Amino acid sequence: MKSVTGYGLLVECFWFALFCGSATHLLADSVYHKWEKLYLVHHWPVTVCMMNENECNNPPMYWTIHGLWPDKAAECNRSWHFNISELKDFMEDMREYWPDILHTNHTHFWKHEWEKHGTCAAQLETLNSQKKYFQKTLELYRKIDLNSFLSKVGIKPGSTYYQLTAIKEALESFYNIMPKIQCIPPEEGRLQVIGQIKFCFTKEFTLRNCTEEQSGLFSALEDDFFRTEDLSVCNDTLTYYPSHMKTHKHFAANVVVI
């Protein structure tokens, strides 16, 4: 009788330990996958081409979508694989506004964005399928309408340089928030080059200021698909907004103050 009781106690302890271990794993997972805001990331195709010169041909001359990224975590559900058939109803818009700048086949890029960022964004009911995630991103892109705004205020790509503070003031005045502007950092004898503009949204899809994450938390990983992890927050100085892949020197600058 004593041996049976001892055996039963041993079994109970085993299952209790297993449960506790699983619970700890789930808790760690939930902490890791927790996020607070979304980045709608626009990138400038010409700059992407400058960073990937050997792979790029005829980039679009308008800001395109890089992705919709939760501010923390990545690849939250590796078993949720990309299914391109869910995009069939809006494939034309995907090719126009969310193209793979470097390759003619866009599927690998969209797959990457879904598996790295979409599976984390899917914690929201409004983004909990591939169709919802990609459609909502297109909707937010149209809502921001960055290309029209920049053109309207006279910020256009070309051989003219801009003071970054002028660009920031124009964006803040129109959108009533401050996005995050990223550049190729300046090198000796060269100016920084604008590369990405990130607009931040709450989980309710309201625009909000983009602020840096607190230290010690899991930060949003920069997406390395186009080597844009080499971009950094722009300095408040002269900034090149390129219309082609040639890099200009300081002495060629014509400064425009908006």
User: Is 113 among the residues known to form the active site?
Assistant: yes
Average pLDDT, the chain: 83
What is the pLDDT averaged over residues 10-15? 44
Domain ranges of the chain: 38-211+223-256
pLDDT digit string, tens, across residues 186-245: 987 789 999 999 999 999 999 999 975 544 344 445 777 777 788 999 999 999 999 987
Residues 72 and 35: beta-carbon distance below 8 Å:
yes
Of 42, 43, 66, 115, which residue is the catalytic one? 66
38-211+223-256 fold: Ribonuclease Rh; Chain A (3.90.730)
pLDDT in the model for residue 115: 96
Helix/strand/coil for 181: strand
pLDDT in the model for residue 227: 73
DSSP state of 190: B
DSSP state of 77: -
- Among 123, 116, 133, which Cα is nearest to 220's? 116
Of 113, 169, 213, 244, which residue is the catalytic one? 113
Residues 135 and 106: beta-carbon distance below 8 Å:
no
Both tokens assigned to 28: 């760690």
Q: Tell me the CB-side half-sphere exposure of residue 172, using CA atoms within 13 A.
A: 11
User: Is 117 among the residues known to form the active site?
Assistant: yes
Interatomic CA distance for residues 61 and 143, integer angstroms: 19
pTM, two decimal places: 0.82
Both tokens assigned to 246: 């040639």
Of 117, 125, 187, 248, which residue is the catalytic one? 117
Both tokens assigned to 61: 């001359």
